[in-house]
Structure 1
Amino acid sequence: MKSHAAVVPTAKQRRWKWLALAVLLLVFFSMLVPLAFLLGLHSGFPVGYSSDESSPTDSLEVYERKGGGKEINSSKYDSRVEQMLRNFTPSLPQEIVQDITGKDDMKIKTSDPNEDNEQTTSGSMGDLNHSEYRVMTPVLKGLHNSPADASNADPVLDKQQGGIGIPDGSNLYGSHKSCQLEFGSYCLWSMEHKEAMEDGTVKKLKDQLFVARAYYPSIAKLQGQENLSREMKQNIQEHERMLSEAISDADLPPIVAKVIQKMDQTIAKAKGCAVECSNVERKLRQILDLTEDETHFHRKQSAFLYHLGVQTMPKSLHCLSMRLTVEYFRDPPSDMELSHAYKFDNPSFHHYVIFSRDILAVSVTVNSTIKSSKITADMVFHIITDRQNFYAMKLWFARNSYEEAIIQVLNIEDLNLSNGNELAQKQVSSSEEFRVSIRSTDPLHLLQMKTHYLSTFGHSHFLLPEIFQNLKKVIVLDDDVIVQQDLSDLWNVDLEGKVNGAVSFCELRLVHLKAFLGRNLHDDSCLWMSGLNIIDLEKWREQNLTAIYQKFLHSFHNGSEASWRTAVLPASLLAFQGLVFPITRLSIISGLGHKYGISEETIRNAFVLHYNGNMKPWLDLGIPAYKAYWRKFLTQGERFMDECNVHH
């Protein structure tokens, strides 16, 4: 009995011992799971702030092995916090940023327009194959190269938009794509025309109010901080009252400086209290999201209005065209062209061809070429336009004198061109301009994109051999070109059997575009630019270049108007492949319609100035520093220009 009685308590003790151990393990794991979730061990997320926009592939490594244990990689974590605070910088005062980061060197890095539009992209390495497409009049976005080899570029033609694909813009921290790639030259224009804020103090008050509202709920819950809570509430109410009556700094009362200082002191006290960071973070994140959405909306709206202004004819130029047209039918001028008709198809003269629908632009190009020439008696200009502008241009060149040069104005719709030529059935098209962005091939700058502006022939240029059947050679000028020196020597240039004497653009090469062109090209030759081109029409006819161009054109457009215009670039490059002679003897400066920072000495010594880009000199959006070189060739004393308020 004794031995039996001794065994029973031992078994009970063992059962209770295991039960207690199980309870302890359960309690331990119930505490461990929330702790692991709080520390982010389940997904590797960093402790503290994390970006809602970042994807799992973008998250940073927070832990690393050191001596067999795990420690927080503080350098990576700090960089993540600093990047997030850069997003806060427009909304938060500088002292708040300094307080959180412990640093006072936080700056918003903006691109320098003087650095040839080089932009830092926002594409992560995992996003290189993800593309979106756009086309802008038809400024063409985005050829991108493989980071390892520029020859492995893989641009894609968008069948709906007619554009060329660019990588998606999200960078390692989930921010938007670079401004230049998304909004084009509007970004450059907006930086040039940035004005001083008239509501800087108002914005300061709003920032303080946002921060105070973020801290107030947590401060109000703390015991022993009733005075601070009451003080913060009073300051918030005072800020709200001021902001309800003020839009700009001029509306603020004289005591605003004291109010700001008082709120700074209150916020500093709140930062010294042990508050729940999650509440403050949640409020600031809401503010950040709202501010980013609002900023992006306004930038998109501003870029749209900018491009609308670029594409719309100014009221003064529309007035000029209409007044000249009405005057032509009211009092038709004598046809001076009849007395010089023998020169129009005589190959012994120097023939210049311009496709344009802009009276003011083409008149300045003609005027600059004539005034820069030593001999004008052998100069014949052929202006090819459409029916809408034909009569206005006829009257303009009949009213104004251009020394001994002869001006012929042609309506492309009245020319006897081949019925089967689809190029003749379209309206007159001057040179087309494209914005092309390629990824850097430098291993140290894999995420950089560089944007270039190209101009190339329009569809109408490929009608040249049929329009001028008796001519052997012509010089083609764009209507956004200014000639500053005599071009007569160009007629003696030997093209060495080539068709097109053009300006080389070696920052982009044909091999870079082989994926977009859809052919296994190994041609490392430079691209070429329109603006000033020497065309050998005899060689053109021998090569049957127009038919070749039309063949390529059909393979690159899907029938839509956007793709019809965008297909000009690949079709032109392939049609002229191996037939371009680089003009190196002339200093031709391009980019005056989009590039800031070109020196005055460079412009003054150039033979030709090319205003390619959206910022044309006859528009209010034009770059002010370059307008003077264009304006000096405007016709002076013209009655219709004064009546239509065309600015000189």
Structure 2
Amino acid sequence: MKGYAAAAGSSTKQRRWKWLALAVLMLVFFSMLVPLSFLLGLHNGFPVGWLSDESSPLDSFEFDGNGIIEKNSSKGDSRVEQMLRNFTPSLPEEIVQDIAEGGDMKLNYSKRNEVSEQLTSGLTGVASHPESEVLTEDLPKPSGVDSKMHPALDTKLGARVGVKLSDVSNFAGAQKSCELEFGSYCLWSKEHKETMKDAIVKRLKDQLFVARAYYPSIAKLQGQENLAREMKQNIQEHERILSEAISDADLPPFVPEKIQKMEETVAKANGCTVECSNVERKLRQIFDLTVDETHFHMKQSAFLYHLGVQTMPKSLHCLSMRLTVEYFRERPLDVDTSHAYKVNDPSLRHYVIFSQDVLAVSVTINSIVTSSMDTADVVFHLLTDRQNFYAMRFWFARNSYRDAVIRVLNIEDLNLSNLIDFGVTQLSPSEEFRVSIHNFDEPQLLHMRTEYLSIFGHSHFLLPEIFKNLKKVMVLEDDMIVQHDLSTLWNTDLEGKVNAAVNFCKVRFGHLETFLGGNINDRSSCLWMSGLNIIDLDKWREHNLTGIYLKLLNRFHNGSEATWRTSALSASLLAFQDRIFSLDSSLVISGLGHDYSINEDMIKNAVALHYNGNMKPWLDLGIPTYKKYWKKFLTQGERFMDECNVLH
């Protein structure tokens, strides 16, 4: 009996362990099945396509003229149609239509190139701009801001402002321009696009990926053994070729035959009735990988471009350091002492330049002097910071510019105690902004257009305090060159206005209503550009423009470094409202630092050229076509330039 009882107990324990093991196996099976179903896209609610942290919450909505309409998809749609619908914002319409109507999952080589270009020029994710940017949400919202507007602003390299949701007729079809997301890098990259040296290699890789997507399904079909064998052979041949080739020059001469053979094989496979899930999954993989890789390389390239245009070249750094060392070695004569009777004489022509670049400002001054008929009454006031003060002082003591007097001032040493609380005593030269706006004049266009603005920085509003004895000054930027005598322009009657400037009517105050709020007097007024400006200091003091500017600055600046720079745009524009005297737009040609399409005749006939934009003429990234106008005024035979290999 004891033996029987022991056997029965053992049998019970064995049954209990079997049930426990079975339960564990079932648990493991279901724990693997659930994530597997999500990975394969079998879950009905799982979105098909590329998901990113940069996706906008607006992507799930469509817009019409009356407001926001939420997307609703019918439950009977196939997974392929769902995938194509999710890809619609990225794929050109003709390709989507071709796939949707013809059921052909194979994209030929030319269309794949179109997809690649579309990805390069229309990627999403504006918030992840690789260039430094500041959103206007960081700014205190001025009164009267339209709640329907969706603003964003980039400082120095750009601004995005004023897109009304109701003005976008079809958000799903709207493409964000490459320039909007990646800035002026896109302008440079299009002009310097190199011919692909591995175009055929890439085509072979594309064919190989498509063939691999079809092969598992073809191999399972009854009666298609020959096609499966042919496809496998083509796959192996492509793999063998690609294992030995990196560029097109490495390919054997019989590659075109292999490409044609693979195209015919894939076409046969496409004509067979196969299970679409595997092919769809594979093609979705290559699409996702291509998008991710393209976006990564675009962001990386844009960052390196931004680094290149914002970093002082080694040769210019060498020049500045050598000049600083030589200043303390030789101690040149003080211009303020030798020409004291001129620097404060209001009857002379006074030019003011804010700069931190000795080479750039020397070219600007040389162009003005060279183009002037008489320089005996010309005085230049060059304002810089402490770091560049000694280098500039030594340069202009070493080099003469006819009879012109050049006075170098360190803005940090000036007695401006009443402005210290606002933090504007440090050098803050002109700011450049990239503004992307919806084209309200042509609302049927979905693309936004991008314009470039130059505006006064904080330091410009110290002019009446710095030059208390002067009545008028002409303010220039160090990326300007002058081709004709400015004496006639100096005598312009400003008709009671404070600032004579060239209007920029491609952007109007109404376009910036989101950013400027309810402070606009006239929405149709054109913006103005800095670069070459005639300032009536008496009228400036009469209207207390500096006080108005400081009040506006206090309103738009919330204490952060970001808004400190962006507030210059709003405060400068609003301070000069109704106080701008419009100069003829043909006098100054702007955009030579970003626009490749400026007419050469306009450049030759202009009084002054403004290289506003990232592609300054002293950088390797500068636009080659326009560099010759700037290089013409370089100082020749300068020992320090030769030793530092400047522009060689």
Alignment partners' CA distance in 1, 2:406 and 2:378? 9
Match of 2:529 in 1: 529
Q: How does 1:175-324 map to 2 (within 5 A)?
A: 177-324=176-323
Match of 1:587 in 2: 587
Residue 238 of structure 1 and its aligned partner are, at CA, apart by 2.4
Match of 2:495 in 1: 496
Match of 2:634 in 1: 634
Alignment partners' CA distance in 2, 1:407 and 1:493? 23
Aligned letter for 1:591? G
Aligned letter for 2:537? L
Secondary structure of the 1:108 match is helix
Aligned letter for 1:495? L
Aligned letter for 2:467? F
Q: Is the 8 A contact 1:502 1:530 kept in 2?
A: yes
Relative to structure 1, is the Cα distance of residues 308 and 279 closer, same or farther in structure 2, using a 3 angstrom cutoff? same
Residue 490 of structure 1 and its aligned partner are, at CA, apart by 1.8
Relative to structure 1, is the Cα distance of residues 429 and 443 closer, same or farther in structure 2, using a 3 angstrom cutoff? closer
Gaps of 5+ in 1: 1-41, 64-69, 113-118, 124-129, 143-149
Alignment partners' CA distance in 2, 1:213 and 1:175? 34
Match of 2:546 in 1: 546
Secondary structure of the 1:519 match is helix
Residue 240 of structure 1 and its aligned partner are, at CA, apart by 2.1
2:565 is aligned with 1:565: yes
Residue 131 of structure 1 and its aligned partner are, at CA, apart by 9.1
Q: Is the 8 A contact 1:510 1:527 kept in 2?
A: yes
Alignment partners' CA distance in 2, 1:317 and 1:466? 32
Aligned letter for 1:516? F
Residue 514 of structure 1 and its aligned partner are, at CA, apart by 2.7
2:614 is aligned with 1:619: no
Q: Is the 8 A contact 2:134 2:152 kept in 1?
A: no
Q: Is the 8 A contact 1:51 1:84 kept in 2?
A: no
Residue 424 of structure 1 and its aligned partner are, at CA, apart by 5.8
Aligned letter for 2:570? P
Secondary structure of the 1:206 match is helix
Alignment partners' CA distance in 2, 1:585 and 1:87? 40
Residue 86 of structure 1 and its aligned partner are, at CA, apart by 3.8
2:592 is aligned with 1:597: no
Q: Is the 8 A contact 2:133 2:154 kept in 1?
A: no
Match of 1:517 in 2: 516
Which of 138, 144, 149 aligns to 1:154? It is 149
Residue 141 of structure 1 and its aligned partner are, at CA, apart by 9.3
Relative to structure 1, is the Cα distance of residues 77 and 208 closer, same or farther in structure 2, using a 3 angstrom cutoff? closer
Secondary structure of the 2:114 match is coil
Secondary structure of the 1:469 match is coil
Residue 268 of structure 1 and its aligned partner are, at CA, apart by 2.3
Q: Is the 8 A contact 2:88 2:173 kept in 1?
A: no
Aligned letter for 1:347? P
Aligned letter for 1:108? E
Secondary structure of the 1:266 match is helix
Gaps of 5+ in 2: 1-43, 63-69, 138-144
Q: Is the 8 A contact 2:177 2:447 kept in 1?
A: no
How big is the alpha-carbon RMSD for the aligned residues of Structure 1 and Structure 2?
Answer: 4.1
State the TM-score, normalizing by the size of structure 2. Answer: 0.79
Q: Is the 8 A contact 1:154 1:516 kept in 2?
A: no
Q: Is the 8 A contact 1:417 1:466 kept in 2?
A: yes
Match of 1:433 in 2: 432
Q: Is the 8 A contact 2:133 2:153 kept in 1?
A: no
Residue 273 of structure 1 and its aligned partner are, at CA, apart by 1.8
Alignment partners' CA distance in 2, 1:199 and 1:103? 13
Aligned letter for 2:614? N
Secondary structure of the 1:182 match is helix
Once the two structures are superposed, residues 332-372 of structure 1 have per-residue CA deviations (whole angstroms, 9 ceiling, x without a partner) of 22334422121001101100000000011101110111111
Between stretches 404-413 and 153-162, larger displacement belongs to: 153-162
Residue 443 of structure 1 and its aligned partner are, at CA, apart by 5.7
Relative to structure 1, is the Cα distance of residues 173 and 382 closer, same or farther in structure 2, using a 3 angstrom cutoff? same
Relative to structure 1, is the Cα distance of residues 109 and 56 closer, same or farther in structure 2, using a 3 angstrom cutoff? closer
Alignment partners' CA distance in 1, 2:602 and 2:104? 44
Relative to structure 1, is the Cα distance of residues 269 and 137 closer, same or farther in structure 2, using a 3 angstrom cutoff? closer
Alignment partners' CA distance in 2, 1:604 and 1:644? 31
Residue 179 of structure 1 and its aligned partner are, at CA, apart by 0.6
Match of 2:10 in 1: none
Secondary structure of the 2:302 match is helix
Secondary structure of the 1:416 match is coil
Relative to structure 1, is the Cα distance of residues 519 and 410 closer, same or farther in structure 2, using a 3 angstrom cutoff? same
Aligned letter for 1:206? K
Between stretches 410-419 and 583-592, larger displacement belongs to: 583-592
Q: Is the 8 A contact 2:482 2:608 kept in 1?
A: yes
Once the two structures are superposed, residues 214-269 of structure 1 have per-residue CA deviations (whole angstroms, 9 ceiling, x without a partner) of 11111111111122212222222222233233222223334333332332232222
Residue 377 of structure 1 and its aligned partner are, at CA, apart by 0.7
Alignment partners' CA distance in 2, 1:515 and 1:99? 45
Relative to structure 1, is the Cα distance of residues 166 and 443 closer, same or farther in structure 2, using a 3 angstrom cutoff? closer
Relative to structure 1, is the Cα distance of residues 139 and 501 closer, same or farther in structure 2, using a 3 angstrom cutoff? farther
Residue 428 of structure 1 and its aligned partner are, at CA, apart by 0.8
Secondary structure of the 2:558 match is coil
Relative to structure 1, is the Cα distance of residues 139 and 610 closer, same or farther in structure 2, using a 3 angstrom cutoff? farther
Residue 280 of structure 1 and its aligned partner are, at CA, apart by 1.2
Q: Is the 8 A contact 2:199 2:248 kept in 1?
A: yes
Secondary structure of the 1:614 match is coil
Q: Is the 8 A contact 2:366 2:401 kept in 1?
A: yes
Aligned letter for 1:532? L
Secondary structure of the 1:518 match is helix
Aligned letter for 1:624? P
Relative to structure 1, is the Cα distance of residues 138 and 160 closer, same or farther in structure 2, using a 3 angstrom cutoff? closer
Match of 1:108 in 2: 114
Alignment partners' CA distance in 1, 2:508 and 2:154? 24
Alignment partners' CA distance in 2, 1:589 and 1:429? 24
Match of 1:401 in 2: 400
Alignment partners' CA distance in 2, 1:272 and 1:512? 53
Alignment partners' CA distance in 2, 1:592 and 1:527? 19
Relative to structure 1, is the Cα distance of residues 106 and 292 closer, same or farther in structure 2, using a 3 angstrom cutoff? closer
Relative to structure 1, is the Cα distance of residues 503 and 152 closer, same or farther in structure 2, using a 3 angstrom cutoff? farther
Q: Is the 8 A contact 2:319 2:641 kept in 1?
A: yes
Alignment partners' CA distance in 1, 2:136 and 2:123? 15
Alignment partners' CA distance in 2, 1:160 and 1:483? 27
Q: How does 1:354-393 map to 2 (within 5 A)?
A: 354-393=353-392
Alignment partners' CA distance in 1, 2:484 and 2:244? 60
Between stretches 223-232 and 602-611, larger displacement belongs to: 223-232
Match of 2:341 in 1: 342
Alignment partners' CA distance in 2, 1:454 and 1:56? 34
